[in-house]
Amino acid sequence: MGGFLRALFLTDPYIIVSTIAFGTVSLVVSLFESTGRGQLKVARVWARWMLKVAGVEVRVVGLEKLDPSRNYIFAANHLSYMDTPVVLGNIPVEFRFMAKRGLFSIPFLGTHLKSAGHIPVPLDNPRAAVRSMTDAGRTIREKGISVLIFPEGGRAPDGVLQPFKEGGAFIAIKAGVPVVPVALVGTREILPFGAGFPRPGLVTLRIGEARPAEGLAMNQRGEFTNQLREDVVSLLAQGHQARP
C-alpha cells in the first residue's frame, strides 16, 4: 500500500490531491470510531476514484463464491502497485491488510494504517513476525474481520508467480478460517514494475473456491501453502485465457 502511494507522487497532480484529501477524511473519521470500518469505506471510495482517474476497468469473476457472513484470508498474487486499489475497490468484504512494519513509521500513512487496524509485519525479525501472524489470527477471531495478504512477499518484477511464503497458512490454521485464492490479471500492464505512470486498460480479478484450514495441524502449513499456490496458478491461467 505504501509503495502505491509513493508511486502516485510521480504521476498526475489530480491523483496526488485526491489521495491527500481522502487520507485527511480517513484520519478525521478515525477520531469518531475505533473499529476501522469507517476508514475502510473511505479507502474503498479512494480506490475506485484512483481506478476511474487512471482509466482502469475491472472485471470481477467469482464474487458469488464469497459468503458475506464468513471471515477469510484472501491470498493474491502481486504484480503491481495497482493491485491495492483493484482489491480494495472490488472485494466487498470487511478486511485488513498485512503491511511491512516500516510503513507504520511513515508520517500520515503510518497513522492511517494504525488507526484503521491494519497489521504490521516485521520482515527483519522472524520471531516478531510469528507474533504478528499470531496476532492476525486472534484479530480475525475476535473482531470478525478478514485479512488480505500477498503471499509472494513482494511484487514479481518479471511477472512470474513467485514461491508463496507460509504466513497465510499459519494465520489460517491459527484462526481456523478458510483461505480464498485471488488472481489479478492485467495490473502489470496498467502499472509495470518500476513505472510511475498508470495506463488505461482492463484488469481481471478472479476469486477462487475457499480452501478450508480448520482442523489442520501447523506442520501441514507447507503442503497447504503449495496447494494454495496451485489454486492461484489455475486462476491466472483461466484469467489469461479469457482475456480479449
Q: Is the dihedral of CA 52, 18, 145, 182 positive or negative?
A: positive
Helix (H) or strand (E) holding 180: strand 179-185
- Over residues 31-71, the pLDDT tens digits come to 676 666 777 788 888 889 889 888 999 999 999 999 988 99
Of 167 and 125, the one with more pLDDT? 167
CATH number at residue 146: 3.40.1130
Is pLDDT of 181 > 90? yes
Mode of pairing for the β-strands spanning 95-100 and 119-121: parallel
Count how many domains the chain has.
1
Of 188, 207, 208, nearest in space to 198 by CA = 188
The SS3 of residue 199 is coil
**Does this model's pTM top 0.95?**
no
CA angle, 91 as apex, 50 and 109 as ends, to 5°?
50
Kindly tell me the sign of the dihedral angle through the C-alpha atoms of 89, 93, 94, 95: negative
Domain hosting 71: range is: 2-242
Q: For 7-17, what is the mean pLDDT?
A: 52
pLDDT tens for each residue of 80-129 = 888 888 998 999 888 888 777 766 676 656 666 676 777 777 766 667 77
Which 8-state DSSP code applies to residue 112? H
